[in-house]
Amino acid sequence: MLHLTDGDCAAQALILGGIAPHDIVPWRDVLHEGPVPAGLPLEQLSDVRARFLAESGSGDYEGIRALFYERDVRLAGSQAEDEVVCWFESDLYDQLQLLQLLDWYAEHSHRPIRLSLIQLDLTPEGGFEALGALAPPRVHALQAQRQTVTEAQLGVARLAWAAFRAPSPLQLERLWRAGELAVLPCLPEAVQRLLEDLPWVGTGLSRSAYTALECLAPKPMSAGALFRAVQTREHRPFLGDTWFWRVLRSMEAGPQPLVAREGPVVAERGVDQGLLRLTSLGQALVDGRHTWSGSLERWWGGTRMTPRGSVWHWDGAHRRVVAG
């Protein structure tokens, strides 16, 4: 039996729950950041992803590529398993990884004898349940409750993964709007959150960036404190601190920054802290008196957005994607 999950913290929880380490493969990729272009088989896509993660400071290319090669080999050989169990949370980070894996297994020649799914969502009290925080009894209970992945789920995953990798977000938006994603219960909200990280009409910022400004408006705070404040605004937190620092840097850069640093600079996990505060432009944006037109160069799945090209926006008032 092979167990696929989102990362090393989840893998450790499964090990403590009695699953052998050699039966666990953590996926580890941050698919909501960087290029995920269409038309590439797994090996080539893994190389693109490894280069992006290395360039983003997540490690050296050779090390990341070796980890991806190892997991891809395990995936390619998993059709020989009696069962593959996918363990994933309900947040955007996990749901994109799940799409990639279910797209792989949608091909009949790739399938094991049984393909099962365990998805964590919210607790009865409304809190977010994370794989890395599971106690051994909970691991045992979830494993006993696993469900066989259906043909309908595999079909929708294939459509959604292709739409995510398309050169515009419109195809994925259509699937979301039509309700076709609901056979994977956690996917519609995750895709909505992904759409909301396009630049918004009226502000020019993603939801992640604008939430950071809102949290910073009352008073200056450190980057670490700001990250924690932003996390509390997320129903299903998905953005790691490394990627949050990238959001902050994008708003500090250029001739019209929205955020500035003040006070002594203290190193925290390689990040220059000091205190962050809104600039006058940042405050004007929060007040609705300014739209950010800072440099935009990023990938959103298979969609490449540049300052000189077509930029897609999220119209929050009408809940739709529009061309900018």
Domain positions in the chain are: 2-195, 207-295
| CA 52 from centre of chain | 14
114 φψ region: left (φ > 0), alpha (ψ -120 to 50), beta (else): beta
SS3 24: strand
Residue 291: the pLDDT is 87
CA pair distance 259, 230, nearest whole angstrom: 15
pLDDT at position 123 is 77
Class of the CATH domain delimited by 207-295 = mainly alpha
What pTM did the predictor assign?
0.94
Residue 292 and residue 281: Cα distance in Å, rounded? 8
Query: Which regions in the chain score pLDDT beneath 70?
Result: 263-273, 294-296, 307-310
Please report the pLDDT score of residue 282 as a whole number.
95
Q: How far is CA 246 from each of CA 20, 53, 127, 209, 212, rounded to the nearest angstrom?
A: 36, 12, 27, 10, 12
First-to-last alpha carbon distance for the chain, in angstroms, is 48
DSSP type of residue 239: -
> Cα angle at 317 between 312 and 321, to 5 degrees?
25
Total count of residues recorded for the chain: 324
Cβ proximity of 319 and 173 under 8 Å: no
**Cα angle value 242/291/197 (rounded, 5°):** 40
**Given this model, what pLDDT does residue 324 score?**
75
Residue with tokens 């910073």: 216
Q: What is the pLDDT of residue 128?
A: 87
Q: Residue 263: what pLDDT?
A: 65
The pair of structure tokens assigned to 124 is 């009865």
The kind and range of the H/E element at 315 are: strand 312-315
| Closest C-alpha among 63, 30, 76 to residue 49 | 30
Report helix, strand or coil for 217: coil
